[in-house]
Every structure is written in structure tokens, then in C-alpha cells.
Amino acid sequence: MSTKLVPSLCPYCAVGCGMYLVVEKGKAIGVEYMTDHPACEGALCPKGNSVLEFLNHEDRLKYPMKRVGDEFVRISWDEALDMAAHGLARNIKKNGPQSIGFLASSRCNNEENYLMQKLARFLGSPNVDNCARLCHSPTVVGLGAVLGTGAMTNNLIDLQNSKCIFAIGTNFTEAHPIVSRWAQKAKDNGATIIVADPRITSTSWMADLHLRIKPGSDIDLLRGMMKVIIDEGLADKKFIDERTEGYPELALNLKDFTLEKASELTDVPAAEIARAARIYAKSSSSALLYSMGITQHVCGTDNVKACATLSLLAGQIGRPGAGVWPMRGQNNVQGNCDMGGMAEFYPGYKKASDPKSIEFFKAAWKVDDLPMGPGLTSTEMTDAALEGKITAMYLIGEDPVVCEANINKTKAALDNLDFLIVQEIFMTATARMADLVLPAAAWAEKDGSYTSMERRVQWIDQAVPPVGEAKEGLWIINEIGKRLGLDLGGTSARDVLTEVNRNVPQYAGMTFERISKVGGLRWPCPDEKHPGTDILHKERFSTPDGRAKMASVLNKPAGERTSEDYPILLSTGRIVVHYNSGSMTQRCTSLRERDSELYVEINPADAAPLKISHGDMVKVKTVRGEAEARARISEKVKPGMAFMPFHWQGTNIITSDAIDPVSKIPEYKMAACRIETIA
């Protein structure tokens, strides 16, 4: 009996850890560590170690199904594909191509996402988006505006070269556990770790200095630090003069701002803000890490711009150990955006609103017409579906009925559609609302490339055949296209990658042969001789004139404030053993054993007058609805604040759908709630 080791990747978060799957008789039976993988050196977190529990789970979708009344009925692939094509065609005929919405998947590979956005645009719809809208769209537009590229500037292992790590709005030890390996190495080498977070977290336990800021005061803290840096002559004048624009405006923006004011706005003692600023600016190489604590606000884009501007002001960018590290969420959210699965961009971040992009892709794809964008974002599609402007949707690997903010609204929107296709590996809450459910191959059951948060593009081969009648996403999208009279090009992932090499400049040199080696290559990689790029912006920024654009921003009030009726501010986030909507991790016994139910952290000072004890079931209510959760009485949250993990549906029933007007991300981090005991 032959057992083989097939190189693979962890299908969960965007760290992109490598692993081997042990395959015997066409079945994955074990995971082995890939000790020569450059991002993880063989380490895996609890999720990575448990991937087979969901891959081989009996709940996997195994055949296509259509809705008949309240039931789902098994159908053949022929019937399913005909139904998909007819449903889309019917809505295009009746309401026009703009009535169709597409969600590409950050869990799927680059080739599937490239083909998905091509299908949308070939059909004349500009409305294609992905879950980056809910996590890091402010990174794409905010870092893009300041630095010219909306992606991590350095690589993960380069963190060990940092002498200061400033982590704001990221609990990376839980959300991206393997990153702590590199942060700890930096600490062992003498780095100072500063964490800005309202909560006490496992990341703040690593910190030399924990700035327990008031929720929503990130810009005030960053401006306070910038003020200290300017006033104490710590700004890197040479770097600013030679490589940036916007310093005079920034100095003016901060002229009347004081450290005392920053302290009052953030609840952080002035001396701590000053200490953080000095350490960050004076160290020989400072890293700035951030995640959804920064992005998921109505001022998410400005928060990101302020982070990038701080790094420019101190000249802490473009060198080993110095840069900006956005901690992206899903395993291929970076790649999905790179492939054009975003309403604002065609592949390679060619602006959908620029006629030159349209001309480029008309020539590349040999078509007469393509839609100008920007199209509707996923959050805008929800509103458009409620208004009857979007009447059909095709979703792959996305679960908005758990992941969007204010999901009662999302449910009503999906309910209002004439036709909904969901392509998935499990019967998710969103799939349960579909007219047609298409069973998809999971990551180990197909070929393709994935791009991690550090711009690392890695190819994996199919390790095992798909379960039951499940099919690879490429095959499904191509077959639907064919039935709509479209030739989408490549039928194999390798063919599509070759097209990506031609049409996405950052990926031009990333051929199959090159990215199928352990660790792949990091973009930009403009030709087949190019070694890939470890550190961006070493000599010039990727703006048209090569200079970074410092941003002068002011904080904005949250979309929702606490009140007498809703006196507690609710924030949400990840925990180490679960992943996004929980559709995969909650099927893994080893993970569920560690955390199996929704909970809410409440400060003892808030719990006592409400007569809530640790372990009680409580109701958490906002103006949008209510969720039941187990109370955890804890000093981890400040008085007046509560925290819930978002891996259970209850959480996003109550989160706020107030939107950042630039990136259109919802403000998950700031909902006013009240907590009641359950009688």
C-alpha cells in the first residue's frame, strides 16, 4: 500500500502556512509538518493541525441540490448547470446585467477567482466583490492611497529583524498565531513590543507597553504619537524630504493638537503615548502591525492612512524590519483582490472606473464590451437586493448570513432575490437560503495558487479527489459560462495561471514551475527572471511619481453611540480555535472541545448591578436584534465595554452596519448594546 506526502497549504488564515498531507488510497489521513516552509518553519496552530476533521467530515456537500418549497432535492449536474444558467439569463433579460451580483471567494484559489470575475464582467455586470469588503477593503484603498500599494510591505519572517513592534487593533497571537513566532523572535532579539488595544489579550500579554485605548480612538492615539515625534525632533526629515509629500499639511493638522488632548480622547496617560512614540521613532527598525481593530470602523480608511503616515513620519518603512504589516484574514483574500474580485478593480488593481482598464481587458479577452465600474460592493449589493435592484446572485465560498453586519437585513435581502446560487463545501446558513446549491471541491481536492498576506503566491496540486460528486470551482464556472454562450478561456488551473501571468503585471513572472516550489514567490514579480519582492518601497513608492502621500486625517465619531437604553459598547473579534463563520472549525471536534458556544465578555463593574454571574446565559441586545451568549465576567474588557467572538451567527445579528464611506466596510467594532439576564 503506497502512502504519499503531498505538499499543501493551510486553508484557514492568510499566514499561508505550508504542510504535507499524508495520502493513502486516495484519502488524506494525516498532516505532516513542512519544516522548510519560509513563513511557518513547520509550525501550525490548532486550526492548521485539525484540517482533516473538516475535509473528511460527513457533512460535506456531495451532490447538487435545488430548492423545492422548504426542502432541498438532489439533482444531476446537467440539471444544476442548466438551472444556474437559465436563472442568471432570465434575470439579465428581465432586469439587465447590472441586476446580477457575484461574490468571489477568499477561500478559493486565484484561478477560480480570476474566472469568477471574468464571468461577471463577460455577462456585463460590474458587481463582483469578496469578503475583503468586510475585513481589509480599507487596507486596499487606504494603503493604496498613501503608499501606492494596498498590501503588506515586508515579509512575515522579517518581523524578527524589528527592534520595535507596534501592534494596533490586532490580536495576532489568536487571529494569526504563527505570526507570534516571529514577534517572539524579535522580542528575544531585544525588540520592544507595544500593543494598542482596549482589551487585555494574549497579544497584550507579550507587550512591554500596553496602551489600553478607548474603542474608536485610534486616530487620536496615532495623532498624539505623531505630535510627539514632530515636537521632539524625531521625524525623519531626510526621508520625508526625499520620498514623501504632504508633510506641511500634516504639521498644520497637528499644530494645535496636544498630548494632553490625545490622552483625554484615548484614555491613555500622556506619558505612555509619549513613550510609545519615542520607542517607535527612535528604534533602528520599527514594524507597525494592524488588523480589523483598525479597519472595521466608519473611519477605517482614515485609520489605515494614519498608520501608514506614522510610519512615513518616522522613516520606518522600506527597510528590513521596518514597514507596515496589515494582518489579512482568509487564506486567499489577498489573491482574490489581486485577481480583480473587487468592485473597484479589474485584475492587477486596474481601476474599474478607468477607460484604459476597460480597453486593456477588451483586447486581452478579445471581447467588444466590458462594464465600467466601480460596481456595487457586497455591502451595497445587500441594500440593492432589498430595493429590488439586484435580483439574482451567485456566491462561491461566502457565508454573508453569518459574516455580514446586521444579518437580519442580509437575510431579508437574500430572501428578496429571484434567484440565488451558492457554491459551497458545507450546507452553510447562506446555502440554506439558496435556490440552487452546488457542491464544491475543497482546497486539497483541486490544483491552484493562493496568495498569502505577505504577497506570497504558492501553488498546490490536488492531493485527493473531490468527495461525492463535488466539482472544482473552475469546472463549475466554465460550465455555467458555456451554457450562457461564453468562452471563459482556461479549463485547467495551469491555463488560467498562464492567462494571469499575461494580464496581471504583479504576477507576470510567476509561472507554474516557479510558484510550485516550497514557499513560491512574492509579488511583484514582473518577469520570469525576477526573484520576487521581499520588501516593497525600498527606493520608491508605487505611486505614479514614486513619492508617498502623507495623509492628514481627523477622527470621526462612531456610527453608533451608547445611550441610556444601550449603555455598553460591543466589540467583536476572532479567537484562536475558530475561523470566520465557523462552518469549517465548528465541525472539528478538537476545536469545538476548546470553545463550543457563543460567549460575551463583560467587566465585573457592569455585571454586578445587572446581577450577572460568570457562566450565566444572557441576552445581548442592540437596536437591530438580540443574541444569547454565555457570560464571561472578565477584566479583559474595560468597564462599559463588551466583547463577543464572531464565529457564531448570533454576533452579527446585533453588529452595526454603519459604513465607512470610502471603503464601504461596516463598523463591526462599535455597536451600542445592553445586556440582560435570561429569566
Question: Residue 44 Cβ, how far from ligand SF4 at the closest point, in Å?
Answer: 4
Tell me how far, at minimum, the Cβ of 183 lies from ligand SF4, in Å: 13
Q: Please, which contacts does 142-145 make with residues 24 or more away whose CB atoms are closer than 8 Å? A: 142/300, 142/301, 142/302, 142/303, 142/304, 142/305, 142/308, 142/662, 142/663, 143/304, 143/308, 143/324, 143/326, 144/349, 145/301, 145/305, 145/549, 145/551
Annotate each residue in 119-158 with x if it binds ligand SF4 (CB under 6 A) or - if it does not, as one string.
----------------------------------------
Interface with ligand SF4, residue 333, by CB under 6 A: no
Judged by beta carbon, residue 44 or residue 390, the one nearer ligand SF4 is 44
The amino acid that residue 620 corresponds to is V
Residue 611 to residues 125, 294, 599, 629, Cα–Cα distance (Å)? 54, 33, 17, 15
Q: Closer CB to ligand SF4, residue 45 or residue 196?
A: 45
Grid cell of 256 as nine digits: 494645535
Q: Applying CB under 6 A, does 289 fall inside the site for ligand SF4?
A: no
- Residues numbered 178 to 197 that lie near ligand SF4 (CB under 6 A) are 178
DSSP assignment letter at 616: -
Is 15 a binder of ligand SF4 (CB under 6 A)? yes
In the complex, least distance from residue 334 CB atom to ligand SF4, rounded to whole angstroms: 13
Q: Are 672 and 560 in contact (CB under 8 A)?
A: yes
Options 62-70, 176-184, 342-350, 479-487: segment touching ligand SF4 (CB under 6 A): 176-184
Q: Which of 21, 28, 31, 45 binds ligand SF4 (CB under 6 A)?
A: 45
What minimum distance in Å lies between the beta carbon of 179 and ligand SF4? Answer: 7
Measured from the CB atom, the residue of 40 and 313 that comes closer to ligand SF4 is: 40
How many residues make contact with ligand SF4 (CB under 6 A)?
A: 14
| Residue 549 near residue 250 (C-beta atoms within 8 A) | no
Q: Supply the minimum distance, in Å, between the C-beta of residue 269 and ligand SF4.
A: 34
Find how far residue 165's CA is from the centre of its chain.
21
Compare residues 47 and 624 and give the one whose CB is closer to ligand SF4: 47
How far apart are alpha carbons 112 and 108 in whole angstroms?
A: 6
Q: Residues for the chain: how many in total?
A: 679
**C-alpha cell recorded at residue 485:** 454562450
Q: Which of residues 364-383 bind ligand SF4 (CB under 6 A)?
A: none
Residue 513, beta-bridge partner list = none
Q: Which stretch binds ligand SF4 (CB under 6 A): 10-18, 53-61, 119-127, 435-443?
A: 10-18
535-547 burial, b for 16+ CB within 10 Å, e for fewer?
A: bbbeeebbbeeee
Under rule CB under 6 A, residue 47 binds ligand SF4? yes
Three-point CA angle 546, 551, 553, nearest 5°:
170
**Distance (Å, rounded) from C-alpha 595 to C-alpha 593?**
6
Q: Does 325 interact with ligand SF4 (rule: CB under 6 A)?
A: no
Could you tell me the smallest distance in angstroms from the CB atom of residue 337 to ligand SF4?
18
- Please tell me whether residue 13 binds ligand SF4 under the rule CB under 6 A: yes
Opening angle at CA 312, ends 548 and 339, nearest 5:
55
Cα distances (angstroms) measured from residue 257 to each of 228, 230, 235, 276, 626: 10, 12, 17, 17, 40
By beta-carbon proximity to ligand SF4, the closer residue of 117 and 203 is 203
Site for ligand SF4 in 95-114 (CB under 6 A): none
Q: Which residue has the cell 503608499?
A: 147
Is residue 176 near ligand SF4 by the rule CB under 6 A? Answer: yes
**488 interacts with ligand SF4 by CB under 6 A:** no
Residue 244 DSSP label: E
Considering only the stretches 13-21, 103-111, 219-227, 645-653, report the one whose residues sit in contact with ligand SF4 under the rule CB under 6 A: 13-21
Considering only 48, 293, 321, 509, the residue that binds ligand SF4 (CB under 6 A) is 48
Site membership for ligand SF4, residue 12 (CB under 6 A): yes
- Least separation in angstroms between residue 42's CB and ligand SF4 is 11
Shortest distance, CB of residue 234 to ligand SF4, whole angstroms? 34
Q: Which stretch binds ligand SF4 (CB under 6 A): 44-52, 254-262, 367-375, 508-516?
A: 44-52
Residue 526 CA, distance from chain mean position? 25
Out of 34, 44, 493, 550, name the contact with ligand SF4 by CB under 6 A: 44
- Residue matched to cell numbers 451608547: 562
Q: Which of 405, 484, 492, 491 is nearest to 100 (CA)?
A: 484
Give me the residue whose beta carbon is nearest to ligand SF4. 48
Secondary structure class of 381 (helix, strand, coil): helix
CB of 401 to ligand SF4, least distance (A): 23
Q: Which residues bind ligand SF4 (CB under 6 A)?
A: 10, 12-13, 15-17, 40, 44-45, 47-48, 176-178
